[in-house]
C-alpha cells in the first residue's frame, strides 16, 4: 500500500491504450475519407500526495472504442474486473466501485436449483444492482411496486421468491431436501398417479360425465350446434385453425367434431390459419378423418370436399388481408395451387368457425375479421385457457357465438352429434351401442329406426323428427340425405350419367363416343397438340363422349366424367355411336378399374387444380350412398374420451390438493423464517 | 409400418419431455432440451416450407403466367407489392452486417408501425368500443332483470376501479412525500381485488388446459403400451 494510485491517471492509461489499438488497426470504411480530428485527451491532473496507491495487478482492459458487435461480445466489463480483485480491501473503493463489485459478485452466483420452470428466474430477474439513493444505479433499479409485481409473477409461474433466498434464515427442517426438487417431484408424482388411474381401471372414476345436451342456461353452444346443423351442400364455411401441435391434446377433438359436422352436412369447409404449423396440423386432422372412412372406401378430397388455403403471414396483418382481400387469399391453396374458389368477400361464407388455443388469437379474429365482416357470425371453439376472453366477447357481441370450450363441451357436442345422426341408422344397425362399421344407411329404405324415433314411425318422418328443424334456406333434411352430392356451382351441367332421370332421357338418342384402342396408356390433353398440358390418362376400352374435333380431324374434343373437356389424338381411338346407357356402363366399369390404378384420378385432379377449376372426382365408382355422410359424423374414435374426462376430474382434485398443501407449507416456512429472524 | 414408427417416435419424444420432471440436469434434462430443439427446428422448417409453397411460389408463378398481361393495372400492382416484399426480405437478410443494420431496422420500423396501426384500429373497432358499449348498456326493465343489472354494475365497477388501479397520480405534501387520497386508495384496493380475482380465474383456466393436454399424453402412453 505504499504506492500511490490516481484514478484519473488510471483512466488516462485506458484511453491511451485504446487509442494506440485504434492506431494499429487503422481507419476503415467511410471514416477513411473524413479528415482526422485531433484526439481529445483529458489533461493529466497532478497527483494527490499522501494517498496510498492500492496494489493492482496488470489489467487487460477492454477497448472502449470498439463499435457495434464488439460491444456485444464477451469482453470483461469493469464490474467483472473489480469482482476479481478479491485480495483488495473493500474500504479502498469508493461507493460507485464497491457497488460495481457487488454487482459482479451477485451476477456470478449460481441460479437457484428449485425453480419450477426453465429459465423463468432469468426472465423475471430484475437488475442485480443495489439501489442507492441519489446514485446512477437507482435510475435502472425496480421500484418497490415493480418489485412486488415481479414477485407476484414469480409466484404465479413457479419461480423462487426472493424472500426465500435472501430474507431470514431457513429453519433446518426445511433446508436441504425440502428445498430441493423433492416437492416438485412429489407433486408431479401425485398428479401423474391421479391422471393415470382412470386409464388403468374404471373403478377410480370420480364425478359425473358431461350431459348429452348443453345445459339449458347455455344457449350459445346449442345455437352453435344448430347453425352448423342447418348447413347445406351449397354452403361454404370458413374454418380458422389457430392452434398448433402444442394445443392439439385439447383442441383436436373439437376440431375433429366440427369438421365432421360440417362435412356431414355436405357443406365445404375452407380451412385457413395465420399459423403455418396449424396449416400442417389441419392436414393431419383431415387425414385422421379420412382414415376413419377407409372402411367405406370414401375419402375426402381436397379441392372438392374441403379446401386448405395458404397461410396468412403477419399475424394481425394477415387477418386484415383475409378480411379485405378474401378473393385473393381464397385463390391459392396451402400447396400453392389454385383452388378454383371465386369469392369476392367474406360475406359469401355461410359461417365462420374459429378454433383457437389462445386469447390473443380470438382477439385478433374478432378485431380484424369479425369487425370487418359484420354480416357473418363468428362461431368460437376454444381452450379453457382462452375461455375468459372468448366468453366476454360472446356476452357482449351478438356476432360472436359460443364459446364451446375444452373436452367437456366436446363430449357433449359429440353426444349430440351422434344422437342426431345415429337416429338415421336403420333399425338393424342401430342397437344400444351402435356398431358404426356395419353402416348401411339408406334413408329412403323402409326400415324403421328405434330409440328416439320410436318403432312405429316411417323412416322419413323419423329423420325429420330426429334432426333440428331446417331454416328457410335449408332443404328438408330427410330429402337432403336421400339426394346425391351436389355439383360445384361452376362446373358444367350434369351429364347423362349423373342422375337416373337424365340417363333415362338420354337413352332415347345415340351418343357419339370414342373408344381407346391403343394397348398403351394414352394422354388426354388440354388442347389439340402434343405440347399442351396433360389433363388425364386413358386406357384401352375407355369410352368418352365426343363434343367436337379440330380442323383437320386429327384430334377429338371429348368430355371427361365430371364435365371437364379435353383432347385426344384420333389415331388412338375409334369413333362409335352408342346409347347413353352403354356410355354410362362403360364409364362405370372404367371407374371401378380406376380405383385399382389410381394414377389417372390423381393426375387429372392435379391438373384441374392447376387450371384453377374445382377438381371433380373422376371415375368415381358410383354415386356415394346416402350413408357416406353418416360415416363422417359417426365413425369417430371415442376410446379415450371417457377415461380422459375421468382423469381430468381426478387431476383437478389432485392439483387443488397440491396447491392447498403447497400454500400451507409456504405459510409455515414464512412463519418459521420470521421467528428465526427475530431470534437473531 | 409408418404408423407404428410415428407412434414410436411420439412415445419417445413424450418421455423425453416428461424427463423435465427430474430437472434440467445435463444428463436427464438434456433429453427434454433435445425434444424441445427438435420441435423448434421442425417448426422452423415447416414454416419455411409452408411460406414458400403457399405465399412466395404463387407470386412467382403469377409472374411466369403468360396469360397475365403486363398492361393490366392490377397485375402491375401485384408486381409492385411482390418486389417490395422481396426488397424487404433482402434487407432483413442484411441483419448480420453491423454497418447495414440500420437498413434492417428500417424494415422493422415499417412492419412494426403498420402492424401497430392495424392493431390499434382493430382494437378500437373490435374490442374497445363494443366492450364499452356492453359495459354501459343497461337492461330496459331494471326490475324485471335484476340479475343483468347486477352483472352490468359489476362490470362497470370492475372496469373503472381496474383502470384506477393503474393511476399513480398523487398529491405532494409539504415534507416532500406523496399522498393519495383515501378515496383513491379505496378505489385502488377494489381494483386490485378485481385484478387478483381475474388473474386467479385465468390461472385456473390455464391449469385446466394443462390438465387436458396432460391427460391426452398420458392416454397416448397407455394406448401405446397396450
Number of domains observed in the structure of chain B: 1
Question: Are residues B212 and A648, on separate chains, in Cβ contact within 8 Å?
Answer: yes
Q: Looking at the complex, report in whole angstroms how far the Cα of residue A159 sits from the nearest Cα belonging to chain B.
A: 14
Residues of chain A with Cβ-Cβ distance to B201 below 8 Å are: 388
| Interval B55-75: pLDDT, tens | 888 777 766 654 554 444 455
For residue A125, the SS3 value is: coil
pTM: 0.61
Contact B215 A648 (CB under 8 A): yes
pLDDT at res. A17: 63
Task: Determine the distance in angstroms separating the CA of B134 from the nearest CA of chain A, rounded to an integer.
Answer: 5
By CB neighbour count within 10 A (0-12 exposed, 13-18 middle, 19+ buried), where does A174 fall?
middle
Of all residues in chain B, the percent with pLDDT exceeding 70 is 83
Q: What is the DSSP letter of B124?
A: I
The answer to whether residue B201 is domain-embedded is yes
Assigned C-alpha cell, A77? 466489463
Query: CB B47 to CB A370 under 8 A?
Result: no
Judged against a pLDDT cut of 90, whether residue A212 lies above it is answered with no
Contact A315 B54 (CB under 8 A): no
A358: nearest Cα among A477, A421, A278: A278
Across the interface, of B206, B208, B216, the residue whose CB is closest to A249 is B216
Residue A270 has pLDDT above 90, yes or no: yes
CB contact under 8 A, A640 and B207: no
Query: Alpha helices, DSSP H only, in chain B?
Result: 2-18, 29-51, 57-64, 73-92, 101-122, 129-136, 146-165, 182-225
DSSP E strand stretches across A340-470: 351-356, 378-382, 400-405
pLDDT score for A64 = 41
Q: What is the pLDDT of residues A611-656, one digit of tens each?
A: 444 443 333 333 344 445 667 777 777 777 888 898 999 999 998 8
User: Can you tell me the mean pLDDT for B195-211?
Assistant: 90
Q: Do A363 and B127 touch (CB under 8 A)?
A: yes
Residue of B126, B151, B165 to mutate for A, most A C-beta atoms under 10 A: B126
Contact A335 B53 (CB under 8 A): yes
Q: Are residues A397 and B130, on separate chains, in Cβ contact within 8 Å?
A: yes
Distance in angstroms between the alpha carbons of the first and the last residue of chain B: 17
A200 to chain B: closest CA residue: B222
Q: Which residue of B has its CA nearest to A119?
A: B24
| pLDDT for A129 beyond 50 | no
CATH H-level, domain A500-622: superfamily = SH3 Domains (2.30.30.40)
| Cβ pair A311:B214 closer than 8 A | no
Query: Helix A406-422 crosses helix A641-679 at what angle (to 10 degrees)?
Result: 170
DSSP class of A92: G
Question: Which of B208, B224, B225 is the best mutation test for A, with the most CBs of A within 10 A?
Answer: B208
Q: Is residue B182 included in any domain, yes or no?
A: yes
With CA atoms as reference, the chain B residue closest to A185 would be: B21
DSSP line for B38-94: HHHHHHHHHHHHHHIIIIIHHHHHHHH-TTS-TT-HHHHHHHHHHHHHHHHHHHHTT
Average pLDDT of B200-211?
90
Q: What is the pLDDT of residue A471?
A: 38
pLDDT at A571 over 90: no
Q: What's the pLDDT at A469?
A: 39
What confidence category does residue A501 fall into, taking pLDDT thresholds of 50, 70 and 90? very low
* pLDDT, mean of residues A276-282: 92
Task: Determine contact: B223 vs chain A, CB below 8 A.
Answer: yes
Domain-embedded: residue B9: no
Best to test chain A binding among B50, B52, B59 (most A CBs inside 10 Å): B50
Do A644 and B216 make contact, defined as CB atoms within 8 angstroms?
A: yes
pLDDT of residue B144: 63
Residue carrying C-alpha cell 360472446: A394
Residue A112 has pLDDT above 80, yes or no: no
Q: Can you give the residue range of the structural domain that contains B159?
A: 138-226
Q: Which three cell numbers stand for residue B55?
A: 405465399
Report the pLDDT value the prediction gives residue B83, as an integer from 0 to 100.
79
The pLDDT value given to residue A405: 94
Quick one: pLDDT band at residue A403, thresholds 50, 70, 90? Answer: very high
- Judging contacts by C-beta atoms under 8 Å, the chain A residues touching residue B21 are 184-185, 188
- The grid coordinates listed for B198 are 381475474
Q: Which residue of chain A comes nearest to B44, CA vs CA?
A: A277
- Higher confidence at residue B7 or residue A91? B7
Higher pLDDT, A388 or B140: A388
Q: Is the pLDDT of residue B121 over 50?
A: yes
* Residue A489 pLDDT exceeds 50: no
Model confidence pLDDT, tens digit, residues A463-478: 333 333 333 333 333 2
- Please give, rounded to a whole number of angstroms, the shortest distance from the CA of B51 to a CA of chain A: 7
Q: State the smallest CA–CA distance between residue A648 and chain B in angstroms.
A: 6
Sheet holding A511-516, edge to edge: A534-538, A522-525, A564-569, A555-560, A543-549, A511-516, A573-578
CB contacts < 8 A (A, B): 170
The answer to whether residue A382 scores a pLDDT higher than 90 is yes
A400-418 b/e (C-beta count within 10 Å ≥ 16 → b): bbbbbbbbbbbbbbbbbbb
List of chain A residues whose C-beta atoms are within 8 Å of the C-beta of residue B15:
none
Separation of alpha carbons A225 and A379, rounded Å: 10
B57 to chain A: nearest residue by CA?
A: A336
Which residues in chain A have their CB less than 8 angstroms from residue B115's CB? 314-317
How many CB atoms lie under 10 A from the CB of residue B124? 13
What mean pLDDT is predicted for residues B20-45? Answer: 81
Across residues A372-382, what is the average pLDDT? 88
Residues of B within 8 A of A122 (CB-CB) are: none
Give the residue among A243, A228, A323 at the shortest CA–CA distance from A276: A243
Which candidate in A367, A391, A527 is best for mutational testing of the B interface (most B CBs within 10 A)? A367
Indicate the Cα dihedral angle A293, A295, A301, A304, nearest 10°: -80
SS3 of A568, please?
A: strand
pLDDT at A305: 86
Q: Does residue A207 have a pLDDT over 60?
A: yes
Whole-number Å distance between alpha carbons of B145 and A274: 41
Question: For residue B33, is it within any domain?
Answer: no
pLDDT of residue A232: 84
What CATH fold (topology level) applies to the domain A219-426?
Rossmann fold (3.40.50)
- Please give, rounded to a whole number of angstroms, the shortest distance from the CA of A332 to a CA of chain B: 7
| Assigned C-alpha cell, B75 | 397485375
Residues B155-189 have pLDDT tens digits of 888 888 988 888 777 777 777 777 778 888 888 89
Specify the pLDDT at position A80.
60
Reply yes or no on whether the pLDDT at A553 is more than 60.
yes
Residues of chain A contacting residue B222, judged by C-beta atoms under 8 Å apart: 196, 199-200
Identify the residue whose cell numbers are 353452444.
A221
pLDDT at A380 over 80: yes
B24 contacts in chain A (CB < 8 Å): 118
Contact A412, A210 (CB under 8 A): yes
Cα separation, A258 vs A630, in Å, equals 14
Give the range among A212-221, A438-447, B126-135 with minimum mean pLDDT. A438-447
A655 vs B contacts (CB less than 8 Å)? 207, 211
Query: Does the pLDDT value for residue B118 go beyond 50?
Result: yes
* Model pLDDT, residue A477: 31
- Chain B residues inside the 8 Å CB shell of A153: none
Q: Domain for residue B22, yes or no?
A: no
What's the confidence (pLDDT) of residue A68? 39
Q: Residue A520 pLDDT more than 80?
A: no
Q: Which of A250, A363, A388 sits opposite B213 (nearest CB)?
A: A250
Indicate the pLDDT class of residue A73, thresholds 50, 70 and 90: very low
Q: Indicate if the pLDDT at residue B10 is higher than 80.
A: yes
Give A239-261 pLDDT, tens digit per residue: 999 998 889 989 999 999 999 99
Domain spans, chain A? 1-28+39-68, 219-426, 429-482, 500-622
Question: What value does the mean pLDDT of chain A take?
Answer: 68
The whole-number average pLDDT for the span B195-210 is 90
Amino acid at each position: 500500500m505504499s504506492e500511490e494510485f490516481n484514478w484519473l491517471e488510471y483512466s488516462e492509461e485506458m484511453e491511451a491504450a485504446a487509442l494506440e489499438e485504434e492506431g494499429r488497426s487503422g481507419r476503415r470504411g467511410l471514416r477513411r475519407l473524413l479528415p482526422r480530428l485531433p484526439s481529445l485527451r483529458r489533461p493529466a491532473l497532478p497527483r494527490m500526495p499522501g494517498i496510498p496507491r492500492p496494489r493492482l495487478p496488470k489489467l487487460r482492459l477492454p477497448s472502449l472504442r470498439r463499435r457495434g458487435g464488439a460491444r456485444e461480445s464477451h469482453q470483461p466489463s469493469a464490474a467483472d474486473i473489480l469482482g476479481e480483485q478479491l485480495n483488495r480491501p473493500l474500504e479502498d473503493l469508493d461507493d460507485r466501485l464497491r457497488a460495481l463489485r457487488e454487482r459482479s459478485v451477485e451476477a456470478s452466483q449460481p441460479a437457484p436449483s428449485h425453480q419450477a420452470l426453465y429459465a423463468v428466474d432469468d426472465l423475471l430477474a430484475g437488475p442485480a444492482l443495489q439501489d442507492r439513493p441519489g446514485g446512477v444505479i437507482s435510475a435502472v433499479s425496480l421500484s418497490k411496486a415493480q418489485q412486488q409485481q415481479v414477485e407476484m409473477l414469480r409466484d404465479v409461474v413457479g419461480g423462487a421468491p426472493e424472500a426465500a433466498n435472501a430474507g431470514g434464515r431457513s429453519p433446518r427442517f426445511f433446508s436441504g431436501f425440502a428445498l430441493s426438487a423433492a416437492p416438485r417431484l412429489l407433486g408431479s408424482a401425485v398428479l401423474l398417479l391421479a391422471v393415470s388411474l382412470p386409464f388403468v381401471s374404471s373403478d377410480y372414476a370420480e364425478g359425473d360425465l358431461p350431459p348429452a345436451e348443453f345445459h339449458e342456461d347455455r344457449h350459445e353452444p346449442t345455437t352453435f350446434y344448430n347453425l352448423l346443423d342447418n348447413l347445406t351442400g351449397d354452403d361454404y364455411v370458413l374454418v380458422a385453425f389457430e392452434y398448433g401441435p402444442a394445443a392439439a391434446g385439447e383442441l383436436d377433438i373439437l376440431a375433429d367434431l366440427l369438421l365432421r359436422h360440417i362435412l356431414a352436412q355436405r357443406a365445404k369447409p375452407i380451412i385457413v390459419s395465420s399459423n403455418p404449423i396449424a396449416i400442417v396440423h389441419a392436414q393431419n386432422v383431415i387425414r385422421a378423418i379420412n382414415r376413419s372412412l377407409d372402411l367405406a372406401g370414401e375419402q375426402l378430397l381436397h379441392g372438392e370436399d374441403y379446401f386448405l388455403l395458404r397461410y396468412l403471414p403477419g399475424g394481425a396483418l394477415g387477418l386484415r388481408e383475409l378480411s379485405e382481400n378474401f378473393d385473393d387469399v381464397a385463390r391459392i391453396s396451402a400447396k400453392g395451387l389454385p383452388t378454383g374458389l371465386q369469392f369476392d368477400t367474406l360475406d359469401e361464407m355461410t359461417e365462420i368457425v374459429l378454433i383457437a388455443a389462445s386469447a390473443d388469437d380470438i382477439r385478433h379474429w374478432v378485431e380484424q375479421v369479425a369487425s370487418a365482416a359484420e354480416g357473418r357470425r363468428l362461431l368460437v371453439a376454444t381452450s379453457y385457457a382462452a375461455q375468459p376472453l372468448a366468453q366476454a366477447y360472446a356476452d357482449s357481441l351478438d356476432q360472436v357465438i359460443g364459446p364451446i370450450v375444452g373436452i367437456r363441451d366436446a363430449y357433449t357436442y359429440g353426444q349430440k352429434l351422434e344422437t342426431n345422426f345415429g337416429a338415421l341408422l336403420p333399425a338393424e344397425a342401430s342397437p344400444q351401442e351402435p356398431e358404426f362399421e356395419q353402416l348401411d344407411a339408406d334413408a329412403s329404405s323402409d326400415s324403421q329406426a328405434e330409440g328416439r324415433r320410436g318403432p312405429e314411425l316411417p323412416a322419413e318422418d323419423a329423420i325429420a323428427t330426429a334432426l333440428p328443424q331446417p331454416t328457410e334456406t335449408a332443404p328438408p333434411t330427410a330429402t337432403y340425405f336421400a339426394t346425391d352430392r351436389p355439383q360445384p356451382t361452376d362446373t358444367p351441367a350434369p351429364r347423362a350419367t349423373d342422375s337416373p332421370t337424365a340417363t333415362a332421357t338420354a337413352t332415347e338418342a345415340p351418343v357419339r363416343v370414342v373408344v381407346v384402342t391403343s394397348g398403351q396408356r394414352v394422354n388426354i390433353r388440354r388442347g389439340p397438340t402434343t405440347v399442351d398440358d396433360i389433363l388425364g390418362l386413358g386406357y384401352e376400352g375407355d369410352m368418352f363422349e365426343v363434343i367436337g374435333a379440330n380442323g383437320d380431324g386429327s384430334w377429338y374434343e371429348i368430355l371427361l366424367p365430371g364435365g371437364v373437356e379435353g383432347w385426344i389424338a384420333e389415331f388412338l381411338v375409334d369413333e362409335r355411336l352408342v346409347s347413353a346407357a352403354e356410355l354410362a356402363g362403360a364409364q362405370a366399369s372404367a371407374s371401378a378399374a380406376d380405383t385399382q390404378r389410381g394414377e389417372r384420378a390423381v393426375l387429372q385432379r392435379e391438373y384441374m387444380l392447376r387450371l384453377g377449376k374445382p377438381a371433380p372426382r373422376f371415375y368415381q365408382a358410383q354415386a356415394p350412398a346416402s350413408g357416406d355422410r353418416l360415416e363422417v359424423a359417426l365413425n369417430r374414435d371415442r376410446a379415450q374420451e371417457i377415461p380422459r374426462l375421468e382423469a381430468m376430474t381426478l387431476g383437478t382434485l389432485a392439483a387443488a390438493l397440491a396447491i392447498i398443501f403447497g400454500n400451507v407449507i409456504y405459510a409455515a416456512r414464512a412463519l418459521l423464517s420470521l421467528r428465526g429472524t427475530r431470534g437473531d | 409400418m409408418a404408423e407404428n414408427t410415428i407412434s414410436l417416435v411420439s412415445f419417445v419424444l413424450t418421455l423425453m419431455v416428461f424427463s423435465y420432471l427430474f430437472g434440467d440436469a445435463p444428463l436427464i434434462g438434456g433429453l427434454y432440451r433435445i425434444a424441445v430443439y427438435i420441435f423448434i427446428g421442425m417448426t422452423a422448417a415447416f414454416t419455411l416450407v409452408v411460406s414458400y409453397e403457399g405465399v412466395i411460389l404463387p407470386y412467382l408463378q403469377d409472374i411466369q403466367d403468360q396469360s397475365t398481361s403486363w398492361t393490366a393495372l392490377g397485375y402491375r400492382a401485384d408486381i409492385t407489392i411482390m418486389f417490395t416484399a422481396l426488397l424487404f426480405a433482402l434487407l432483413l437478410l442484411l441483419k448480420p452486417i453491423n454497418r447495414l443494420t440500420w437498413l434492417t431496422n428500417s424494415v422493422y420500423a415499417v412492419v412494426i408501425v403498420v402492424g401497430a396501426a392495424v392493431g390499434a384500429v382493430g382494437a378500437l373497432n373490435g374490442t374497445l368500443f363494443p366492450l364499452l358499449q356492453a359495459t354501459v348498456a343497461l337492461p330496459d326493465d331494471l326490475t324485471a332483470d335484476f340479475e343483468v343489472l347486477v352483472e352490468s354494475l359489476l362490470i362497470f365497477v370492475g372496469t373503472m376501479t381496474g383502470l384506477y388501479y393503474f393511476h399513480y397520480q398523487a398529491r405532494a405534501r409539504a415534507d416532500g412525500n406523496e399522498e393519495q387520497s383515501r378515496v383513491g386508495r379505496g378505489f385502488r384496493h377494489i381494483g386490485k381485488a378485481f385484478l387478483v380475482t381475474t388473474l386467479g380465474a385465468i390461472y385456473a383456466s390455464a391449469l385446466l388446459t394443462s390438465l387436458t393436454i396432460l391427460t391426452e399424453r398420458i392416454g397416448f402412453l397407455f394406448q401405446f403400451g397396450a
